[in-house]
Structure 1
Amino acid sequence: MPTGVALRDVREQLFAAAERILLRAGPHALTSRAVTAEAGCAKGVLHKHFADFDAFLAELVMDRTARLETEAAELLGKAGTGTVAGNLRPVLDGLFGSVAVAIVSLVIFRDDLRTRLRELRGAPGLPLLTEAVAMISRYLEAEQDLGRVAPGADVTSVAGMLIGTGHLMFADRSATSPAPSSAEVDRMMAAALAGVVR
């Protein structure tokens, strides 16, 4: 790796390499040596920028979780426009058609990482999935305020059903998962939103 590369560029190269490994081979294949080899850099580069491999993994998860904030703002901006299901569908497609499922598998796979993330986040729950539930809950609350979601609807439970069921549909790396545009995902969304959306 050339010297003089900005720290953020190095971090992004390493994070992108880790994501490729996760998607291709799963969390068991993710090692510091595999990440640096995938990134095409010297073995010591990762340890130059991170205290240890668990610190690297924690930063990867925190970085990818922080990206949900942009999506959350975009989703909130759609409140009152289009349809509720139509606004939620791209969010679910993004969550389950991306590296997010692989990152959740990584967090489940590594106990020490889960403990470290709990300390960093100051909250329980699985990173990404917990934040996704909160993002959808806030959106549904905004739609509730606009009268497009039933006033008595438990929006947090609905958001949890959407995220939990979506994760179950896509989490099995060895089975054939439904494509994000599949009728199965549409049926799941329709069931979760039935009686909730006006």
Structure 2
Amino acid sequence: MPTGVAIRDVREQLFAAAERVLLRDGPSALTSRAVTTEAGCAKGVLHRHFTDFDDFLAELVRNRIVRVQLQSHELWESAGTGRVTARLAGALTEVFQTVAVALVGLITSRDVLRARLREGTPSGVPLLTEATAMIAGYLTAEQEYGRIAAEADVRVLAPTLVGAGHLLFADRHSGPPSEEEVAGVVSTVIAAVVRERS
């Protein structure tokens, strides 16, 4: 991009470029040069907006975490409506069919990035922790509606669902799982505690 030409929403443009690189080539291919090349801008543009590349990556993950938190509110508000299995399967698909699986790989492979993200996510794996909180909040809300058994241990069910969802979507070469596969895993995990009528 020629100097002197303003880039609209440069941060979002760089985030989108990074996500495309992650999805196409995986975490090991994500470099500042790969991001700026994908975004069609000079390398210096990234460094004008972020302290360093790890600062950029931390903001990229935080941006995705905000999306999960927004998704959480929508899911929680849907409690008491629709099918519990379908709501959970849809939520897991929405989280993991995007760049989240690749971001988790990036987080676990970069110590400096993990350390920076500890400020907002003091325990667990950032992004997976927020997804688990989303599922736990929804299950708790469904307990209040009587659609999940009161004795169900949400603290166990939520990470089990998120872990299973992550594993289903982790194989980038075979393509994403079908809706039936995701729903089947969810049904199996919650079978003993779901109380909605067929």
TM-score higher than 0.5: yes
Q: State the match for 1:56 in structure 2.
A: 56
Counterpart contact for 2:121–2:129, Cα < 8 Å: no
Q: State the match for 2:115 in structure 1.
A: 115
Q: Provide the rounded CA distance (Å) in 1 between the counterparts of 2:176 and 2:99.
A: 16
Q: Provide the rounded CA distance (Å) in 2 between the counterparts of 1:28 and 1:144.
A: 42
Counterpart contact for 2:149–2:193, Cα < 8 Å: yes
Q: 2:177 aligns with which of 176, 179, 191?
A: 179
1:169 matched to 2:163? The reply is no
Counterpart contact for 2:97–2:176, Cα < 8 Å: no
Counterpart contact for 1:158–1:192, Cα < 8 Å: yes
| CA offsets 1:70-109 (integer angstroms, 9 cap, x no match) | 1111101111111111211211111121111111111112
Q: State the match for 2:186 in structure 1.
A: 189
Equivalent residues, number: 193
| Coordinate RMSD, CA, aligned | 1.5
Q: State the match for 2:131 in structure 1.
A: 132
Q: How does 1:41-52 map to 2 (within 5 A)?
A: 41-52=41-52
Distance 1:156 1:25, change over 3 A: same
Q: Provide the rounded CA distance (Å) in 1 between the counterparts of 2:147 and 2:183.
A: 19
Counterpart contact for 1:169–1:177, Cα < 8 Å: no
Q: State the match for 1:40 in structure 2.
A: 40
Shift in Å, 1:180: 3.9
Distance 1:166 1:122, change over 3 A: closer
Q: Secondary structure at the residue paired with 1:57?
A: helix
Task: Please tell me the residue identity of whatever aligns with 1:197.
Answer: V
| CA offsets 1:50-72 (integer angstroms, 9 cap, x no match) | 00000000000011101112111
Q: State the match for 1:159 in structure 2.
A: 158
Distance 1:46 1:61, change over 3 A: same
| CA offsets 1:123-147 (integer angstroms, 9 cap, x no match) | 1111111101101101111110111
- Structure 1's unaligned 5+ residue stretches are none
Identity %: 57
Distance 1:180 1:55, change over 3 A: farther
Shift in Å, 1:178: 4.9
Task: Please tell me the residue identity of whatever aligns with 2:193.
Answer: V
If the length of structure 2 is used for normalisation, what is the TM-score? Answer: 0.92
Counterpart contact for 1:96–1:180, Cα < 8 Å: no
| CA offsets 1:12-50 (integer angstroms, 9 cap, x no match) | 000000000000000110000110000000110000000
If the length of structure 1 is used for normalisation, what is the TM-score? Answer: 0.92
